[in-house]
């Protein structure tokens, strides 16, 4: 599986709402995102759990500093 193929597979989450948000972000922003933001996104999709990502993007839980930039970006694509 190519690097892009693996990443696109990781965008498929257990929640349809997260699938949509991740796909929107990836299509609209990922390619031109700064390297640090891309790295943060990759950490998020490989390490964070769906309920946590959802709670952070919806503002139900405080966002960990490690994910502050990417969660702010994902909120744009909710």
DSSP label at residue 66: G
Q: Between 20 and 10, where is the model more confident?
A: 20
Domain count, the chain: 1
Using one digit for the tens of pLDDT, what is the confidence trace for 25-69?
Answer: 999 999 999 999 999 999 999 999 999 999 999 999 999 999 999
* pTM, to two decimals: 0.86
CATH number at residue 43: 1.10.150.250
- Full domain range(s) for residue 33: 3-76
**Per-residue pLDDT at 2:** 52
Instruction: Answer for the pair 41, 71: CB distance below 8 angstroms, yes or no.
Output: no
């Amino acid at each position: 599986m190519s690097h892009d193929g693996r990443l696109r597979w990781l965008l498929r989450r257990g929640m349809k709402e997260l699938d949509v948000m991740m796909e929107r972000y990836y299509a609209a922003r990922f390619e031109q995102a700064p390297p640090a933001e891309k790295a943060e996104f990759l950490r998020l999709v490989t390490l964070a759990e769906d309920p946590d990502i959802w709670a952070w993007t919806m503002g139900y839980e405080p966002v960990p500093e490690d994910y502050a930039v990417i969660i702010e970006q994902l909120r744009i694509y909710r």
